[in-house]
Each structure stands twice: as structure tokens, then as C-alpha cells.
Amino acid sequence: DAKTTQPNSMESNEEEPVHLPCNHSTISGTDYIHWYRQLPSQGPEYVIHGLTSNVNNRMASLAIAEDRKSSTLILHRATLRDAAVYYCILNDNDMRFGAGTRLTVKP
């Protein structure tokens, strides 16, 4: 199974950008890169996904390395409501969640 590596935790200041890294050196050509987040005591929430090109949506941006072996989720202005566990997942019709990165946002 293709796996991802993320830092256990990161901190950010409110209203500053946050870059959450993810390494996936064994990614295959058909794996989509998905990001989900899980707020405390809630179910996971879809954030963004991509295959090869960078992607933007109302929540975040996804920057994918040219060799696809790493990606970065970018929150342009962190708010206190963005404090959550962020999961980077390789999806080839089978999503495997790791432990994710716990993001703390300081006021």
C-alpha cells in the first residue's frame, strides 16, 4: 500500500499562512492525493485533492511536487477554526488514513 509521511504536529499563528507537508515517495501513477481534516469530536471533512497539477478551492491550495513524491497543503490565513488533525491520503480506490498532523492555531 502506498503510504504517506506527515509531521505529528505543527503550530501556526492566527491569520498567518500554514504549509502542511506530506511525503509520499512510493506514489503510483493512479494515486490521487487527498487531504481531509478532522475537527475535535467530528467526522473527517474533505479539504482538497489533486493528481498532478496544483489545485485551489475555497478552503485551501494543494501544491504537488513535479515528481509527485511530496505535496503541501496551504491554508492561506489560518483561523482558530482551522485547528484540527489534517490527513494526507493517497487514494487509488482505497483510502488509508495515517495519524495525520495535528495543527494548533495560536491567537
Partner 1 sequence: NAGVTQTPKFRILKIGQSMTLQCTQDMNHNYMYWYRQDPGMGLKLIYYSVGAGITDKGEVPNGYNVSRSTTEDFPLRLELAAPSQTSVYFCASSPLGEPLASYEQYFGPGTRLTVT
Q: Coil, strand, or helix at residue 15? A: coil
Total length of the chain: 107
Q: Which residues, 48 to 107, sit near partner 1 by CB under 8 A?
A: 49, 51, 87, 91-100
- Sheet containing 101-106: which strands, arranged edge to edge? 9-13, 101-106, 84-91, 32-38, 45-50
Nearer of residues 29 and 107 to partner 1, judged by Cβ? 29
**Smallest distance, Å, CB 41 to partner 1?**
8
From residue 11 to residue 30, what is the string marking binding to partner 1 with x (rule CB under 8 A)? -------------------x
Rounded Cα–Cα distance for residues 101 and 61 (Å) = 17
Residue 34 binds partner 1 (CB under 8 A) = yes
Grid coordinates of 13: 499563528
Positions that interact with partner 1 (CB under 8 A):
30-32, 34, 36, 41-46, 49, 51, 87, 91-100
